């Protein structure tokens, strides 16, 4: 059985992003039934309907992003919380991938969300705003376990690696559940 290809999309553009550090940790914990690749979203121009359609060629970065996401069986999101919602960069990536109308690259791809913050609330607001878009984008989202990682800065050592055993065990359980979710829900 070949591994299912999973795009890892990180909602932070920051070099020292906690979300990126956790993404690497989760990738390392993933079972061999998943093959995960981080897909960057920082170069995507803000979505503007004037930039495509009616004979207008869309920005190359949009086309490359759409073509790349099409290659994957599922999408794993890591999101910070900005003002109790998802960062604009992540929402923009969703919007870019969702157009032209009727050609969304997200459709049907099984997803999961890890929300990460140094704060106390586990970025719940971002996690659930993302889920709201997933409904319309027709992406079946893993329900349990939910992954709200609060106090994230304290869970990493000076080397940027996870140094908390119970969080590691939880993230292993999470990525194994996602692997099973992908097996059940990915298009054959
Ligand atoms: C514009 C802005 C809004 C923020 N709003 C929230 C928030 O609503 N909730 C929260 O927990 N943290 C909030 N933060 C703090 C982020 O959680 C923190 O910067 C975090 O490190 C971002 O994730 P990253 O490390 O992956 O870049 C906000 C940060 C910024 C820049």
Reported as a single tens digit per residue, the pLDDT across 47-105 is 999 999 999 999 999 999 999 999 999 999 999 999 999 999 999 999 999 999 999 99
Mark residue 108 as left, alpha or beta (left: phi above 0; alpha: psi -120 to 50; beta: remaining): left
**pLDDT value, residue 62:** 98
Q: What is the DSSP letter of 151?
A: S
How far, in Å, is the centroid of ligand 1 from the Cα of 105? Answer: 28
Nearest to 127 by CA among 113, 117, 138, 106: 113
How far, in Å, is the centroid of ligand 1 from the Cα of 38? Answer: 21
**Overall average pLDDT of the 173-183 stretch:** 98
**Overall average pLDDT of the 150-178 stretch:** 97
Closest-CA residue, ligand 1 atom 17, reads 117
**pLDDT value, residue 76:** 99
Q: Does the pTM of the predicted model rise above 0.85?
A: yes
The Cα 141–Cα 39 span in angstroms is 19
Closest-CA residue, ligand 1 atom 9, reads 81
How far, in Å, is the centroid of ligand 1 from the Cα of 164? Answer: 21
Closest-CA residue, ligand 1 atom 28, reads 82
Quickly list H helices, the chain: 18-29, 60-70, 88-98, 124-137, 165-185
Of all atoms in ligand 1, which is nearest to the CA of residue 118? Answer: 17
> C-alpha distances in angstroms, 84 versus 52, 130, 141, 186?
31, 11, 20, 30
Of all atoms in ligand 1, which is nearest to the CA of residue 120? Answer: 11
How far, in Å, is the centroid of ligand 1 from the Cα of 90? Answer: 13
Residue 114 scores a pLDDT above 90: yes
Cβ(89)–Cβ(52) below 8 Å: no
Residue 188 scores a pLDDT above 80: no
The Cα 53–Cα 150 span in angstroms is 42
Q: Please report how many Cα atoms fall inside a 13 Å half-sphere around the Cα of residue 96, on the Cβ side.
A: 28
Question: 56 has which bridge partners?
Answer: 53
**pLDDT value, residue 1:** 74
Question: 38 has which bridge partners?
Answer: 8
**Overall average pLDDT of the 3-14 stretch:** 98
Cβ(115)–Cβ(123) below 8 Å: yes
Place of tokens 């914990």: 29
Cβ(119)–Cβ(150) below 8 Å: yes
The pocket around ligand 1, CB under 6 angstroms, is made up of: 12, 14, 17-19, 80-84, 117-119, 121, 123
Residue 181 scores a pLDDT above 90: yes
How far, in Å, is the centroid of ligand 1 from the Cα of 181? Answer: 29
The Cα 115–Cα 121 span in angstroms is 10
Q: Residue 170 CB: number of other CB atoms within 10 A?
A: 14
**Overall average pLDDT of the 119-140 stretch:** 98
């Amino acid at each position: 059985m070949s591994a299912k290809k999973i795009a890892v999309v990180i909602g932070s553009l920051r070099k020292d992003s906690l979300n990126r550090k956790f993404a690497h940790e989760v990738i390392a914990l993933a079972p061999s039934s998943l093959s995960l690749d981080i897909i960057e979203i920082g170069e995507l121009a803000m979505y503007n309907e004037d930039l495509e359609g009616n004979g207008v060629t869309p920005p190359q970065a949009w086309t490359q992003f759409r073509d790349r996401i099409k290659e994957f069986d599922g999408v794993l999101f890591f999101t910070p919380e900005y003002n109790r919602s998802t960062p604009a960069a992540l929402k923009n990536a969703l919007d870019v991938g969702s157009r032209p109308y009727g050609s969304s690259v997200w459709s049907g791809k099984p997803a999961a969300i890890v929300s990460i913050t140094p704060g106390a609330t586990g970025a719940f607001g971002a996690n659930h705003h993302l889920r709201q878009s997933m409904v319309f984008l027709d992406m079946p989202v893993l329900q349990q376990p939910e992954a709200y990682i609060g106090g994230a800065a304290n869970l990493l050592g000076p080397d940027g690696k996870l140094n908390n055993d119970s969080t590691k065990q939880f993230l292993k359980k999470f990525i194994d559940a996602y692997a099973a979710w992908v097996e059940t829900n990915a298009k054959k």
